[in-house]
Amino acid sequence: MSQTLQATRGSVPDVQGSERELRGARNRTRSRRRNLSPFVLVLTGWTILAHVPIAMGAYSVLHALGSAWPGWFAVAIAVALAAPFRRRMLALMPDRPRPAWLLQLIDIPYFAHWCASSFALAWTSAACVVWASARLVVGHAPFSLTAAAACGYAVGGGLAAWGVWVRRKWVRVRRLTVPVQGLDPAFDGYTIVQLSDLHIGSFSPQSMAMGWVRMANGLDADLVAVTGDLITNGDAFHETVGNVIGALRARDGVVVSPGNHDYFGEPEALFDRVRAAGARVLANDSFVVRRGKAALVIAGADDTWTRRADVRAALSKRLPGAPVVLLAHDPELFPAAARQGVQLVLSGHTHGGQVAMPWLARHVNLSKLSHRFHLGEYRDGASWLHVSGGLGTTGPPVRVGSAPEMTLICLRAARA
């Protein structure tokens, strides 16, 4: 009896502690949602606006079919399609494992629809300009705006279907040769596989990420560099990240630098998991790779979003005369790195906009609207920057014109 009573008494604090932890987790979740509410409100407003062309297009189709009250039915359809957005968005904050049927039958199709409606909004807006101009110039419009809206949604639906179910899963390997001043002949031909923006989570599950691992390992590189954003948000996929990072192979190992999304949860727990998987986490730190007496410095900057990035600290252990490769998730650190004489900066962050003009993604993509260094290669004197388009996605799981990619980088001694 006394043993039973003692066990019961001993279990009470554990239960209370578990309840406190649960309440704390719930409070943190609510706090994150409150902090993100302006962002969600903006997207919700956009979603409502994007469903105006849906109502117009639905009216055009229903009217052509001879439906009674086509206007009322069109509005009802648009409202029904816009209403789930906020719930679907908040379900990803924080990101948690969900049933496959929910993802495949509801979430992914819904975000494909969201992309199609956004395209329809742009299409219809352009059609309105043409329509109004025609009315002013020739006195009549050459087409119906409601029919143009229906056409815009149809075209957008095709592009969204391609971007969601095909293009975002079709990874390309870019091959890049970079001339490096001061590179010792022992490192001439040194290869680095860069992976960036994995965003492991609901839309980039372990099965998809392991496919990236197999591709990277097949390139037989000297080093694997992962330039941030291992997750989307939350801490539910830390174990998956550990499994993925732990499966990567290279002769000189795997190095990881933090991205902003890695701080949208429990960052230290995430980084501990990455270290336990055998990788180095370079947050304003560096290490030296050697080939005999020759040296190559591999450095990593921390996150700019949380203002942790410090390029000087990342280079504080550099060896005099040894070239430096700096992992920096945010390419905005490139000018500071160039001033410090860094030969090569590897970045990501932009996803190449996720939506870009096919075959012209380097010049026409959404990330160009907000990023100076948005995709591909840039040069500042002897310093080079490579901005990867990344592998995963954030927001809608779509890529159109901007391929998911990993890069095989070959270092070559630059001629004087």
Query: What residues have CB less than 8 Å from 254, skipping those under 6 apart?
Result: 223, 224, 225, 226, 245, 248, 278, 279, 280
> Of the candidates 251, 240, 227, which has an alpha carbon nearest to the alpha carbon of residue 277?
240
d(CA 374, CA 331): 8
- Angle at which helices 206-218 and 238-247 pack, to 10 degrees? 20
Digit-coded pLDDT (tens) for 152-191: 999 999 999 999 999 999 999 999 999 999 999 999 999 9
Enumerate domains of the chain plus CATH numbers. Answer: 36-165 (no CATH), 173-413 (3.60.21.10)
Digit-coded pLDDT (tens) for 306-338: 999 999 999 999 999 999 999 999 999 999 999
Q: Are residues 184 and 321 in contact, defined by beta-carbon separation less than 8 angstroms?
A: no
Digit-coded pLDDT (tens) for 58-87: 999 999 999 999 999 999 999 999 999 988
Give the pLDDT score at 12.
Answer: 40
The residue assigned the tokens 């550099």 is: 318
Digit-coded pLDDT (tens) for 212-233: 999 999 999 999 999 999 999 9
Give the pLDDT score at 416.
Answer: 62
Average pLDDT over residues 234-257: 97
| pTM of the predicted structure, to 2 decimals | 0.88
The two three-digit tokens of residue 32, written as one number: 């994150």
Judged by average pLDDT, the poorest of 23-32, 117-126, 370-379 is: 23-32
Report strand pairing: 405-413 vs 190-195: antiparallel
User: Partners of 185 in the beta sheet?
Assistant: none
32 band by pLDDT with thresholds 50, 70 and 90? low
d(CA 400, CA 366): 11
Q: Which amino acid is at 262?
A: D
Give the pLDDT score at 42.
Answer: 87
d(CA 166, CA 311): 38
Give the pLDDT score at 7.
Answer: 35
Query: What residues have CB less than 8 Å from 303, skipping those under 6 apart?
Result: 228, 258, 259, 260, 262, 263, 283, 309, 329, 330
Average pLDDT over residues 123-141: 92
Cα–Cα separations (whole angstroms), residue 308 to 74, 303, 325:
50, 5, 19
